[in-house]
Amino acid sequence: MLNFITWNADPTLFHLGPLTVRWYGLMFAIGFLIGYKIVERMFKHEGAPERWLGILLIWLGVGTIVGARLGHCLFYEPDYYLHNPAKILCIWEGGLASHGGTIGCIITVILFSVFTTKRSPLWTFDRICVPTALVGCLIRLGNLFNSEIYGHQTDLPWGFIFARNGDTWASHPTQLYEALTYLALFVLLMWMYWRRNAERRPGLLFGVFLTVCFGARFFIEFVKNNQEAFEDSMALNMGQILSIPFVLLGIFFIIRALVRPAVNIEFPNAFPSEEKKK
């Protein structure tokens, strides 16, 4: 008899009065905190203004949550939410789409670039995509604690029995497949930035992020359960269809970055205000 992994984790970490703290929310918050520190180090390394950090954090926080929520509502359950628009605000009921979150990030980074940095959006994309891969890993671990977004039945020894959902069979732990992929992508992007000076080629880091992240998502979807019933009759599900444009965009940015000459970047390793004090 095969020894599968029985998964029965409680999605709730603890209760604080009327507030319920869930593993998913904790993972999301940890990802943003670590991401903030990584981008802070990058900005300091390149001498970008420290005040940009707080502004960027607000832009990304709002853009990610709003984009992910609207993405779920419009891509997966448009009929329901168009007839019940007030329910779009009920984010605590669940329903976030990573593709929508990505679109939200792209829009907010463009706005951030126009109103704050006055630089090409690619400058910001190349830096925030590095910690975003880690955030994606942590969010998928949050999905694991929620016993959601997992795969088809499997007889592989690492199959998970999601007992909290009443399952008695093992399924592909696709949350872990994605989490491990995003963790490896994070390590790759950190190495490219800190060891290979990939930031000298605008768009390269962002292109690698899009290609690997959504390329992996496309293939993992083949063993993942569909999120909505209407996907059962589709050759490719909604997650795969939405991933294709991001992969193509990523390939475009990689080629564009490699055919253009590298740019010169100075690394003062200090915020501008610190430079003036020396």
pLDDT in tens, 148-191: 999 999 999 999 999 999 999 999 999 999 999 999 999 999 99
For residue 92, pLDDT over 80 is answered with: no
Q: Which amino acid, 52? A: W
Q: Is the pTM of this model over 0.85?
A: yes
d(CA 222, CA 213): 15
Helix (H, G, I), strand (E, B) or coil at 12: strand
Query: Percent of the chain beyond pLDDT 70?
Result: 96
Q: Which DSSP category does 171 fall into?
A: B
d(CA 16, CA 161): 30
Determine which helix (DSSP H) or strand (DSSP E) holds 21, and give its type and residue range: strand 19-22
